[in-house]
Structure 1
């Protein structure tokens, strides 16, 4: 199954979660808006100066170069009264324009002699003035339903005085690793054992995706304990994710339980790494079964599950990671048949062109390649070996991998 087909099959089946709640702005980072945000005010709420200088009537300089200083206007401490003909007001950036003024001349274009201010230029009306509503107008739709709140939106909402928002609940995702060979970090490994690294990568990505996480730990290859874990995860969470136990022909209790308890499809995705993948429903939860190899688990979670979780969260503004063309500077080994997501290091050369080199070992268990990489080199399904100098497509890591 091609990667694009798998993603489309998943997205066609899932629908956004509908539960919402009112959340204080300080707690809303990463949440998805459940209502449009309309501005309750103009921003700025008053005409103000775009720089330090002097506020005046532009027409007053038609017949003279010198005006009399009549007062000051600072941010938060506006000038009281009205500027009369022949006068000017000292003004700071962001300060309210005094009544009777329509223009600001920057201080560098003046000469000061006591209260007499001589201006070196003839301004136009509204020069260096930010009008009312210059950024946002009263009643304007500033954010639409389905927008995920990031550091770019939080100060915008604060500038409107909005103290709380209506937001969708975060998708709750339960996950666990399976296998008698897995041991928790911090313990001594016995013969044939390895540390469970997958849960740390899965949790890190899920939190970056904006999910609430429920870590069920390592579940041994015991039918009763596995069944209990599937029951707990599928009844307490919106999504259940496992790593390991989904390869066709693999002697594992996981597939037997899924066959009995859920409606699960065991797919062979034409991607490398990450061929085995399971998707479906168990009880009330969506189920995603990731491969057991560390890089395969991370890649399938990033490529296949990330867009699904964005849709569940109501994030209608979600965009897949950016892909651009780059020039290969090293050999990339590949056989036709599957889309390869090789780990690469991109850079921009002196001519402003993207270049990319391999991280080296591309094995599905070689997680050091992910640490070294800043992109995936996406090699098409029917493409073979890539020589240095050939053009390739790279997918730059999005914020979730940083």
Structure 2
């Protein structure tokens, strides 16, 4: 039995805004409950299910921040700054206690010897045989990294829900964490609908086009660190659509489709969901990408995107990525990051729907950053997405003049 589709094309019911759709989607999905333990070497892009806590202090001892000389500052004045170099301490070596009136040659990261309270950088010292001349005005306590200055034993260093970047793995290694607990990889099933679709490498027949959507969807899913379940091309029949949805629900944690979500006679998603699942949302008031289906087959969520390639890319960026991140267990606001950048264009004919146009950052005549937009507004011109490095968000019925600040969603922030 289908739910009353929020934002359907029923007369008198307006399509939902981007914000309303995001709120509803994110409220209807939850993080995976299944976790696994992996080595930090396998952790890149994974999402922590448990925080990483340190069992050691970092640094584990007072150590030198510079190459130079370890001294007791009180020894300088009585000796006129001239001290005998009694030992040499490279990184990884043990240090003997500093005897009164002596200095130790020391290197970055080496433990400072007992009795030392200052490290003087080598560039301001003068040396002769086993002696060093240290300026009397050098600062006491300088250039020593203190025990636990960075991390204290027992402290949480990486929070649960963090997607692990290279710097996180380095941090985990620095405290000796060899293995970490993460959510298992999200399994995402993808398909594209349409009898006109042909796989690349085959000859095109009359009215046929190459299936760019399946390859783009698959790459987007993999880019987000998910396991791909490829359901292939689904023919334009209700039975085939139902079978694809059922297969996806049996194999994956999320199903993402392209095509079949409009209101034509060859668009079968709505009827298929009525039979095998629930339909919870049908359209969103944006351009491109108005037809957007959301529902469940059993407990498995489904997002049906438009068939036009640009529309598919836009709706995937705006809606599928936040849903995927929520299911992966990433914490925080899942909405796309936006930047405020001056428009390098005029937009004299706004749409009644909010528009997400392909744009890229360029340097304007004044040397400052500005946004350029792709000349065509067509949702079938896939080259516009390859040309762009983000989307500019143009509010409903708003005229834009060059120099106006506009919201820009960079692709790098979406997939980084």
Name the TM-score, length of structure 1 as normaliser: 0.94
Aligned to 2:412: 398
SS at match of 2:76: helix
Aligned to 1:143: 158
Report if the CA contact (8 A) 1:219-1:226 is conserved: yes
Cα distance in 2, alignment partners of residues 344 and 271 from structure 1: 16
Cα distance in 1, alignment partners of residues 337 and 274 from structure 2: 37
Report if the CA contact (8 A) 1:321-1:397 is conserved: no
Aligned to 1:78: 94
Alignment of 1:33-44 (within 5 A): 33-44=48-59
**CA spacing shift, 1:155–1:341, aligned 2, 3 Å:** same
Report if the CA contact (8 A) 1:321-1:398 is conserved: no
User: Which stretch of the first structure deviates more once superposed, 371-380 or 219-228?
Assistant: 219-228
Q: Could you tell me which runs of 5 or more consecutive residues in structure 1 were left unpaired when the two chains were aligned.
A: none
Residues 181-213 of structure 1: per-residue CA shift (max 9 Å, x gap): 001111111111111111222122222222221
Question: How large is the RMSD of aligned CA atoms in angstroms?
Answer: 1.9
- 1:220 and 2:235 matched: yes
Aligned to 1:200: 215
Report if the CA contact (8 A) 1:109-1:121 is conserved: no
**CA spacing shift, 1:328–1:303, aligned 2, 3 Å:** same
Residues 358-377 of structure 1: per-residue CA shift (max 9 Å, x gap): 12222111111111112211
Shift of 1:141: 1.1
SS at match of 2:339: strand
- 1:242 and 2:265 matched: no
Cα distance in 1, alignment partners of residues 94 and 348 from structure 2: 68
Aligned to 1:372: 387
SS at match of 2:352: coil
**CA spacing shift, 1:171–1:228, aligned 2, 3 Å:** same
User: Which stretch of the first structure deviates more once superposed, 200-209 or 53-62?
Assistant: 200-209
Alignment of 1:102-181 (within 5 A): 102-181=117-196
Residues 43-67 of structure 1: per-residue CA shift (max 9 Å, x gap): 1111111111011111111322100
Report if the CA contact (8 A) 2:38-2:181 is conserved: yes
- 1:305 and 2:304 matched: no
Cα distance in 2, alignment partners of residues 188 and 388 from structure 1: 45
SS at match of 1:204: helix
Q: How many residues align?
A: 400
